[in-house]
Amino acid sequence: MNGSSMCDGTNLCWSMSESGRTPRVPSPTCGKECRSVEQVRSAASRYVSPPEIAPHSAGAAVDLTLADADGRELDMGTRMNATPEESAGACYTQADNISHQARSNRDVLGTALGAAGLVNYPTEWWHWSYGDRYWALTTGADAACYGPKDLDSV
């Protein structure tokens, strides 16, 4: 284990409604194609945070995994971004249905990032943050350090 791999850092969000296009997203949560902004927002919120609170777009969160010296990702029990349904809950950080090696690798990742002050979102072993709302809640901080910024007002 000689490295890590960052897969998602500042996942910037742009609103389809601002572009003048009507969003159409097939969604298992809508049961059919979603056409309204509200339907898309509802369906998407099952997989990503709304832009106004999303830690990635604020620069406060990263999705990380471990890699060996040759850049090959190590066994973490599931692929990054696995859903609870497809992984039988193995995407949860403390899942008990993963191999001993995957548990050991998750422990290494957690120890290193925890020592640096990051906190893990427990339903996603790969999601770590510092300074966002969840971090503030978990650490007892008075407030989050980071939040979204409207680029038009900069």
Contact by Cβ (8 Å): 138, 130: no
Beta bridge pairs of residue 65: 5
Ramachandran sector of residue 62 (left: φ over 0; alpha: ψ -120 to 50; beta: rest): beta
Contact by Cβ (8 Å): 126, 66: no
Contact by Cβ (8 Å): 11, 57: yes
In the residue annotation, 73 being an active-site residue is answered as no
**Residue 96 to residue 112: CA distance in whole angstroms:** 21
Reading the block at residue 152, the tokens are 């038009």
From 33, 38, 73, 124, the catalytic residue: 124
- Phi, psi angles (nearest 5°) of residue 113: -75, -35
Question: Which residues are catalytic, by number?
Answer: 124
